[in-house]
Amino acid sequence: MFLDYYNLQPLFMAIHAALCSIMPEGLAIFLEGLVVGVMILVLYAVLAIILIYMERKVCAAFQCRIGPNRVGGKGGLLQVPADVIKILTKEIIELKNSDHFLYNLAPFLVILASILTFSCLPWNKGGEILHMDIGIFFVLAASSIGVLGILLAGWSSNSKYTIIGAVRSGAMIISYELSIGLTVLTMVMLSGTMDIQQIVSGQADGWNIFKGHIPALAAFIIYLIAGNAEANRGPFDLAEAEQELTAGYHTEYSGMHFGFFYLAEYLNLFITAGIATTLFLGGWMPLHIAGLDAFNAVMDYIPGVIWFVGKTFFIVFLLMWIRWTFPRLRIDQVLTLEWKYLMPLSLLVLLVMTLCKVTGLTF
């Protein structure tokens, strides 16, 4: 049984009560929202820097080279911050024949979708920023906003490279959202709720990937493949195929606008891994083994946020491993994989999970 050592909810309620005692409740809620918003942006930026550095080192390891090793010592720890400063100081170039309003709006839509889904991740018990009864449904709805930004970026730039990249990305994301939705629905069926915190709490006696038997494992594999495709990462990075489209839908972007696309790509990777952790690997729940009470007690002392971050980065590493192992697929191969294989398999997995739930075959 999970022992609740690190529940953050009492702490946040005490802070709220203390603020309400010295100021009107409306002002207290406004200040709390302001602080939380700043924390989200800071955490968002820090995670992006960590993920970019990790990607470069993982890529270098798979290609038998060192990676960043100049700026910031032999480890190259300051290479990514240096790149961030460089991109912040670059000029934002306005294209003469572009649709200026949509061209400027597109990167903000992409970053908005990313931040909304990022805010729903359950970091710890009581540590979810946006909490609602239909949290998983909200995540799916919010994440779909990003494709609008990609399509607008490609169309408004008035370039053949950007429009081809945007159409590829739109077709791929819309297709693979079906498999993601079906695998998420499979785990909702197993958990019996769409509340993200309840999904995690329901895994106190065992993670869903173990409780759900083979259907849960199959859903996990399908989700990782489809999530990689929706994040526009290799071997599904056709929207940014350098050999064909320069940089795809964001070829004509520069400065901070390009930075938004770059930032969202890496945080979408973290979000994909975070949702997989939540649905399949217990979220912030520790690892428990039946019969090993002493081991389970020790695991309970590790804070939930460490469990969540550790599991999430493990899945991030798996996704990076996939990217730097498999060659890029053609667009027809990508769509064939989804429509002929993944989606029918996702439907089958959902049906089998439903039968297991009805007949009581799950743990």
CA distances from 129 to 123, 151, 182, 360 (A): 9, 29, 25, 34
Res 310 pLDDT > 90: yes
**How many CA atoms within 13 Å lie on the side-chain side of 143?**
29
Q: Can you tell me the distance from the alpha carbon of 60 to that of 54, in angstroms, rounded to the nearest whole number? A: 10
Find out whether 49 and 42 touch, Cβ atoms under 8 Å.
no
Percentage with pLDDT > 70 across the chain: 96
User: Looking at the chain, which runs of residues are DSSP E strands?
Assistant: none
Return the pLDDT at 1. 47
pLDDT tens, 208-246? 998 888 999 999 999 999 998 888 887 887 766 666 666
DSSP 166-230: HHHHHHHHHHHHHHHHHHHHHHHHHHT---HHHHHHTTTTS-HHHHTHHHHHHHHHHHHHHHHHH
Distance (Å, rounded) from C-alpha 235 to C-alpha 220? Answer: 18
- Which tens digit of pLDDT belongs to each residue from 65-121? 988 888 888 888 899 999 888 888 888 887 778 888 888 899 899 999 999 999 999
Q: What is the reported pTM?
A: 0.90
